[in-house]
Structure formats: C-alpha cells, structure tokens
Amino acid sequence: MALLDSVKSPRDLKKLSSGQLQQLADEVRALLIEKVSATGGHLGPNLGVVELTIALHRCFNSPHDAIVFDTSHQSYVHKMLTGRADQFDTLRQKGGLSGYTDRGESEHDWTESSHASAAISVIDGLSKGFSLQGQPHRNAVAVVGDGALTGGMCWEALNNLATDKSRNAVVVVNDNGRSYSPTIGGLSANLGRIRAQHGYDEIMEQGKKRLKSMGWVGERAFEALHAVKEGVKSTVVPTEMFPDLGIKYIGPISGHDLEALTRAFSYARDYEGPIIVHCVTEKGHGFDPAVNEPNDQMHSTGVIDPVTGKPKGKSQPGWTAAFSEELLEAGRRREDIVAITAAMAGPTGLTPFAEEFPQRFFDVGIAEQHALTSASGLALTGLHPVVALYSTFLNRAFDQLVMDIGLLKLPVTLVLDRAGVTGSDGASHNGVWDMSITTIVPGIRVAAPRDGQRLRELFREAIEVSDGPTVVRFPKGNLLEDQEALDTLVDGVDILHYGDNQDQSSPDVLIIAVGAMSARSLAAARLLEEQGLNVTVVDPRWVAPVPRSLIGLAGDHDLVVTVEDGTMRGGIGSLLSEALSAAEVDTPLRRLAFPNYYPKHATRGELLEEVGLDPESIAESVLGWVGTLTAQD
C-alpha cells in the first residue's frame, strides 16, 4: 500500500501521475476487500466508485468544495483519501469509523444521514449559501446513485437547481443500474436506453488501443476523437432525459476510466452553473464474487472470506425470513393480499412473494412516501396492501401514513424491519422512532412480537383488520427463542412470568416488556427475585392502543415498569402513563427506553447496554426505584 500510505489528504492526489493513480486505485480496491471482509459493511457499492472518487478528489478541492454522497454508504473510498485509511480495522464498530459520512470524523464529511435522495437538495442549499457569502466559484458536488434518483426529492431539487444558472452545483450520477437491487421504473429504462444508444464506448476503447499503438500521433488522434465524442454527448443526451430542466449534461462516461473521469470532472469544476455528469460504473468492480453475486452484488455484507466472498460463520434463522414465510402463506390463502417495497425486496423479505405472485408485487423504488399513498389507492379498491420497510425509512412517509391511510381508516399493514436499535449502521439507520410516530395516528394498531411464533400470529391478526392501518415491527438479526405464555388474558396480553415469593411484605413489580425486550425483562426478573421482589412480566403483543388489562394489572402492583427499544419520548411507556392517568390508577410508573438522542454505531447489544436496557441494568434500575418508594412509605 505504498501509494495509499502517502495519501493523507486529497491534496496528495494532485501530485500523482496517471500511472500512479491507477496503482492507487488498485491499492484502494485491495484494502477495501481486505478490511470490509473482516468487519462487514457496504462492499459492492464502494468497489464500484474507486476510480470515480479518486478523480473527484483530484479535480475538486475538498473540503473547500463540498462533496456529498447519496447515500453515503458509498463513501469508504472518500474516507481513505481523506486520511482515514489506517482506521478501517474499526469500521462500523463502537468508537470506530462510521459506515457513513460523519461530521465528527472529518472536515471533508458534510452530512451523515443514511437516507437516500437528499444530496441534491443539500448541494442546492450549499451552492446558494456559497453564492450568498461571496464565494460563487466554490463548488458543491452530489454523488448520486441511480437508485437514489427514483426518490422524488431528487427531482424537486433538480427543479430548483435549474432556476439559477449562476450557482456551481455538480450532480454526479453514479449509474450502475442498481440501488440495493436492480433499479426499477421509467428513469432506469431511460438511463438504459442512453447507455445502449452510446454503445460506441466499446468501439472507442478498441480504437484507443489501436491508435495508441501508433505512438504520439495516435494519441493525438485519440484525444481529438474523444473531444468530438464528448461534444456529441453533451448536445444530444439532454434532449432525451432532461428536456425541460435545461441543466447542462455530459456523459455517459466510463466510471472506471480515470482519464475520462478526470477530463469530465475538470470540465464540471470550471463550468459556470449547474451541471450533470453521468458516470456508468459496475457495482462490485474488481472483485469477481461481488460482480457475479446475482441478488445485490454484495451491497452489504457480514464477515466474509476475502478470496471467495463466502460468509463466515453459520447462518441463523432471522426475523425477516420468518415474516417472508408468513407473507407467502397469506398470499396463497388470500388473493387480496398485495406487497409493496421501496427498492428493498430482498432485505425486507418480499422476494419469494414477488417470485410466486409477480402481478401482486410492486417495487416503487426509493420512494417511501409514494409507497404508502399508492398503498392507500390499492386499499381503496378492496385489496389489503402489505408495505414492508426498514423502520427508519418510515420516518419519511409519516404524512402519508397520517393523511392518506389513517384519515381514511384504510386496511394497510406496515411491516417494519430493523425496528429499534439496529447497531452498526449508525445513527440514522436505527429504528428507534417508529412506535413514537405511528402511535400518534388515530385508530392505528401497533404490534411488537417477542419471537418468531408471535411474529407469525400477530401478522395474521394484522391482515384481518379491515377498519384501519396496522403495524408489525421487529428487530434486526436472529430470531429469539420462542417464549410461550403462562396465561393469555382476554385482550391478548401474554403473562410470561409470575412472582412466587411468599413474603407478603415484598413489593410487587409489574414489568411490561415490549416485543424483543421480553427475553431481557425475564432475565432481569430472575435477578430481582433473588433480591426478594415479586415480579410479574407481561408482553402486551399489541402495544397500541393500550390493552385494558394492563390498567387492571397496574392497579394490583406496587410499581409498573415499561421496557422498550424505542424512544422514551412518545413511546409505549408514555401511552401507558396517559392511560393510567385517565383511569385514575395511581400506581407509580417508571420507563426504560432509549433516550432522546441519536445513537452512534455499535453492536445492538452494546447500544442497549449503554442506555440501561441489558438485564443487569434493568434489574438495577428497578431495585433503585423500589428502594426510593419503600423509603417514602
């Protein structure tokens, strides 16, 4: 890694020759494979942008010129070129490098959200700000995956960029034909037509080799031919793809040709006004196991063999797989079940349904807002849509849930994968907000299964609801061991544990465990009983609206504690507090949940322990509260 070791900032790239740049690209690609294989992470996308990122940093002047990645899971090469190559052993680990850009890591990182389709809006604002502050020649660059262009925010931003020709905003379209999986929709088809129309790229490559064999005369001829080629592209393609916006366009350009990229980005850097640079890349480029992987080209991997690309360790049954099987069974039983994803059929478990029922499956691209409102239209025709999203991405569609589904009391089931703390993907990927935002919707029903069997049961119950929306949420990772109930109350609340301390003077504590917090709450109950407390543990299953039996149980105990992996503010504990107050039940209530802050990247277990949601900390908190109540008595 001789060259990469010498690159401590983008300024160092400007000293390298063309041959050295190619060597640098090879070193970067090798380091990516070595390090991401050991830590897990977004390997395929970063292998695809090695040359593109090198050329960007060679031509622009970061951080004076702002470079924003959309999404920033494709920023690993950027991190290496901005002085962080020696930290990749810590990638996505607690206290280590984030898997996304992170303003706390480097002045070269302008944003840190993992949500797609926002970067063009960001550079719209940056370029306005630079201009207003007397820096009109300062560039703002968005590196946008073609998958991100399926999101509506991109087009809102492009519409605004086109209104002011004086701002230096550069949109680099990283076109690899994929988001997580193959990109869908009219935009993708249009990009495909452009790539096909300009199939003379292959001819140009062949001609380049022949002309260069002729020596300097051939090289001059090639340069002239290339200039003609670029000129043709610049005038022909905009009329196909951006007919009304009037934004300057150059491309398509090979995203793995450092010379072509350098010419294109140099032109874009010096161009006065907004410009689109269309680069065609290959996801996983340079690593055959990624390129040949048929589903997602190693978009995101766990720990893998750096040679074969095969996962290390045994695969355990996961929450997503359990949902996938149950959805498939529901589709076979009921012809009114339809499924919707926002560009993530594989990760959310919808692929088997799509394969068996292709006419009843809809991938809308990275467009969660559209997904929910389209689901409302499907529901209005008498169908029952199942919309599967990552919990964090539901945040983007809150208005549509409230106004287009909730207001009309439509039977739409939202299945929220990666709910609660997800861990290594970092602050904006954690799904800690879903219970707070969904339970605001009037008439909504929210379920939190504790294990695979409850996931199946609650999903079946959810799709039977016909008078309003339902939500089924579950965490990332392996299924927890099935925990059977000792008793089930009339409204579906499961009793998981009864205290058996015969001492009548011992305080009675009711722990209300939400979903996957049940196993941790049961472990805490055992620790508490060793301290002489009587502990009852219940799982509401349906956490909203609050089951009436919880109010009665609360009245029979000395202390009520809610344990949930969502945010404290507006969570299930807050709902229960309101319900107890309305029922005039004065049993003290204490809540264990996620504080109101953005959790950084770490494992799920580390983050839960950090905020007191491991069994030992739960028990310690309860003992402290019991001690305070006893002292007051």
**Catalytic positions:** 283, 368, 396
CA angle (498, 459, 472) in 5-degree steps:
80
- Radius of gyration (Cα) for the chain, nearest Å? 27
Cα–Cα distance list, 534 to 3, 497, 508, 619 (Å) = 65, 10, 5, 12
Contact between 73 and 114 (Cβ < 8 Å) = yes
3-state secondary structure of 175: strand
The verdict on whether residue 147 carries a ligand-binding annotation is yes
Query: Which strand (E) or helix (H) includes residue 97?
Result: none
DSSP string, 373-429: HHHHHHHHTT-EEEEEEEHHHHGGGHHHIIIIIITTT---EEEEET-B---TT-GGG
Cα–Cα distance list, 401 to 465, 559, 628 (Å) = 16, 35, 42
The verdict on whether residue 148 carries a ligand-binding annotation is yes
The verdict on whether residue 379 carries a ligand-binding annotation is no
Q: How far apart are CA 554 and CA 79, in angstroms?
A: 52
Query: Which strand (E) or helix (H) includes residue 35?
Result: helix 18-39
The verdict on whether residue 116 carries a ligand-binding annotation is yes
Contact between 414 and 472 (Cβ < 8 Å) = yes
DSSP string, 112-153: ----TT-HHHHHHHHHHHHHHTT-TT--EEEEEETTGGGSHH
Q: Which residues are bridge partners to 471 per DSSP?
A: 414, 446
CA 352 to chain centre: 21
Q: How far apart are CA 609 and CA 614, in angstroms?
A: 5
The verdict on whether residue 73 carries a ligand-binding annotation is yes
Pull the structure tokens for residue 571: 């969570």
Pull the structure tokens for residue 464: 């039977």
| Residue 399 neighbours by CB under 8 Å, 6+ apart | 369
Cis peptide, bond prior to residue 274, ω within 30 of zero: no
3-state secondary structure of 280: strand
The verdict on whether residue 368 carries a ligand-binding annotation is yes
Query: Which strand (E) or helix (H) includes residue 67?
Result: strand 66-70
Binding site feature residues: 73, 114-116, 146-148, 176, 287, 368
Pick out the residues of the known binding site for thiamine diphosphate: 73, 114-116, 147-148, 176, 287, 368
